[in-house]
Structure 1
């Protein structure tokens, strides 16, 4: 059974006239009649009753109508799907993200993709740490990753989604809770709540870097698995926590204050990462939409190192 047989059959069934069907198909009438006869021979049943005055469907022809329509529609949908995928208008893109500070930007991207390219589906993967997202990227389990990194492999390309800054989260009862800014030198004797240093996360790295500049190591009261846990322990007065301005904007508690850090430190911008040279048309489209949502920060020595 060939699709051309089905298309000719459906046209004749619609017109119930071989001459008119031939005009619609832009075929010679004998060719239409021959195609229908070949199809009937293949099936072993007549599909039309013909005489000099009329053409009508046989019971076999009536039974074939619906499945023939489905098969032709499936072919058309298949062609459309392939065409849209090749043009970057459809397809699936897997996005990994980590942390509450990432959600607004990821949501903005999802809304923009849905608005501009509704045939592209986004598969979201929530991760605890940005380093896990890069592992998914390199193992081809994710196409795009939101995160903050100090070091990235050479094959990974990035785009700055939003600039960010460091703040110190502290209980509202702390003497510096209402300060306009604070330096690490003022906080050397404090206890700290932080993500595990073994996670290769940016925040523990920045905390260690700031303390090294003072010739000291931070006094860690507790390591936690995620930012929400850290902020909860800050409100419980277990210690201070080095975090992001974007966390401040997305997590408000009645017993927590966020004070800007005055120390100069490497940037902690949120970035979107992907494997350069491995972009599918759909991925290229999503990257283009993401780049249109934000202006990348100027390149300088504080960008993630390669290698």
Structure 2
């Protein structure tokens, strides 16, 4: 098995298109197909399901992908190891996050990593919902991820980072927009903007649970993954949104954040990582998390 075979496999697996993968690798499509065939013969299994219209990974391909990535990463680290002084922490970390919900955590932690460990290459992957983040951590395609807690994974570790009280983001013309506090039950007849039902978002589950406990099932007018775009739709009058107080300083024009009265309900922001043994770079990041939390977010 050759390194270039793994590079070709990863390119096709990520592009799911032989033509695009060939362009990415700066080679013709026919030689690329031959390389993939050689790899499949060496493994004695097919890695891709091919048709005239699409390319997809077989179960064997899905299983092989994280290991192929790990091999190339180890080669890269080996090359880097001869270029940095002893004792310097180096490597690459892939960090998943949702978006505006990580407004207080993402900038603080990424800045701390870059200031403390400049040799760590930090790659950020946005719009990753909690369930998808857990799946990617288990598969090895993410090293760390900001998630909503709790998660139901037995193969990942988590750390609570902060808790934010929930409130409502409403249009400025809403009858309750000028209230100091509101009851969630007051929105029983409003239309809600939520994450998609199948996206694996903890925010979606929090919204449904809170409304159910308030005595109603929310009328969902729009489902969208990006929480900031949800607030933009609120500004457009499409509906209201149940969001944590961390968004309050960044709500778009035409909207207002109104706190909820009564017993506080919190969104629990956490960090998750695989229980599998991690790199020195990941361990350094986790140690840095404790330092940042000690200083306060």
- Normalising by structure 2, what TM-score? 0.67
- Does residue 1:235 correspond to 2:235, yes or no? yes
Contact 2:127 2:225 in 1 (8 A): no
Q: How far 1:163 moved relative to its partner?
A: 2.0
Partner of 2:282: 283
1:233–1:168: structure 2 CA closer, same or farther, 3 Å change rule?
Answer: same
Q: Secondary structure of 1:153's partner?
A: coil
In structure 1, distance between residues paired with 2:288 and 2:132: 24
- 1:82-231 aligned at under 5 Å gives the runs 83-84=86-87, 89-231=89-231
1:147–1:77: structure 2 CA closer, same or farther, 3 Å change rule?
Answer: closer
RMSD (CA atoms): 2.6
Contact 2:251 2:257 in 1 (8 A): no
Contact 1:160 1:296 in 2 (8 A): no
Q: Secondary structure of 1:199's partner?
A: coil
Q: How far 1:114 moved relative to its partner?
A: 1.6
Q: Deviations over 1:140-171 (max 9, x none)?
A: 01111012133231221112222212110001
Runs of 4+ that moved beyond 6 A = none
In structure 2, distance between residues paired with 1:233 and 1:212: 23
In structure 1, distance between residues paired with 2:104 and 2:185: 33
Q: Secondary structure of 1:272's partner?
A: strand
Q: How far 1:213 moved relative to its partner?
A: 2.1
In structure 1, distance between residues paired with 2:233 and 2:127: 21
1:247–1:77: structure 2 CA closer, same or farther, 3 Å change rule?
Answer: closer
Partner of 1:52: none
Q: How far 1:123 moved relative to its partner?
A: 1.5
Partner of 1:260: 259
Q: Secondary structure of 1:231's partner?
A: helix
Q: Secondary structure of 2:267's partner?
A: coil
Aligned residues: 219
In structure 2, distance between residues paired with 1:215 and 1:167: 17
In structure 1, distance between residues paired with 2:176 and 2:80: 63
Contact 2:183 2:262 in 1 (8 A): yes
Partner of 2:292: 293
Q: How far 1:296 moved relative to its partner?
A: 11
1:265–1:155: structure 2 CA closer, same or farther, 3 Å change rule?
Answer: farther
Q: How far 1:127 moved relative to its partner?
A: 2.6
In structure 1, distance between residues paired with 2:145 and 2:292: 16
In structure 2, distance between residues paired with 1:296 and 1:185: 37
1:295–1:200: structure 2 CA closer, same or farther, 3 Å change rule?
Answer: farther
Partner of 1:69: none
Q: How far 1:196 moved relative to its partner?
A: 1.3
In structure 2, distance between residues paired with 1:171 and 1:152: 35
Q: How far 1:197 moved relative to its partner?
A: 1.9
Contact 1:191 1:218 in 2 (8 A): yes
In structure 1, distance between residues paired with 2:291 and 2:201: 27
In structure 2, distance between residues paired with 1:83 and 1:158: 31
1:76–1:225: structure 2 CA closer, same or farther, 3 Å change rule?
Answer: closer
In structure 2, distance between residues paired with 1:205 and 1:172: 26
Contact 2:143 2:273 in 1 (8 A): yes
Partner of 2:16: none
